[in-house]
């Protein structure tokens, strides 16, 4: 496994619509393992392949909920290959989202509270599940990445400009 470089805004690759995975093979499984390692290294809970410069419809999520006997978060990473939202609730939820590609910037984003998603796992098996809570939010956020959409696209222009100015200042300061 390897820690990969996380692509940050304004890299144009973040605006690409990712291509579907034709076959779940060792190359994809290696990508998944590297993405999980990268996600943990960056202290994230989700990561889309395009965020590490790979134009494939692959994402990984681990909400790291709960703690083990030593007080460390319980890790249960999952890969979602060619994920697609089949339906969304009309009910909305608000979550203060951040993104590894827009470091240390956060904004409240409204998204459907639940969504039904279909995907393939690392073995190529198909799954379909109704997601809710933080998992639903995270899944929608990561699928947005696969479609070239960033969380800042869901906030007002004023809020987006403010976040980008804060990020620019943060980068200048170092």
Known catalytic residues? 142
Distance in angstroms (rounded) separating the CA atoms of residues 27 and 103: 28
> What is the rounded CA–CA span in Å between residue 143 and residue 131?
13
Degrees to nearest 5, angle at CA 13 with 102 and 170: 25
Backbone torsions φ then ψ of 35, nearest 5 degrees: -65, -40
- ∠ CA 162-168-173, nearest 5°, is 125
């Amino acid at each position: 496994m390897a820690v990969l470089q996380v692509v940050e805004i304004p890299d144009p690759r973040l605006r690409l619509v990712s291509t579907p995975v034709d076959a779940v093979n060792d190359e994809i499984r290696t990508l998944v393992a590297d993405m999980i390692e990268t996600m943990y290294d960056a202290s994230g809970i989700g990561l889309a392949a395009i965020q590490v410069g790979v134009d494939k419809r692959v994402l990984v999520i681990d909400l790291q909920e709960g703690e083990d006997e030593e007080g460390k978060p319980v890790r249960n990473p999952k890969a979602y290959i060619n994920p697609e939202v089949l339906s969304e609730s009309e009910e909305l939820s608000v979550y203060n989202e951040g993104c590894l590609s827009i470091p240390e910037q956060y904004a409240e984003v409204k998204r459907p509270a639940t969504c039904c998603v279909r995907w393939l796992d690392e073995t190529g098996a198909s799954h379909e599940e109704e997601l809710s809570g933080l998992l639903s939010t995270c899944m929608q956020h990561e699928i947005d990445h696969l479609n070239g959409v960033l969380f800042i696209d869901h906030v007002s222009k004023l809020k987006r400009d403010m976040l980008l100015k804060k990020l620019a200042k943060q980068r200048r300061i170092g």
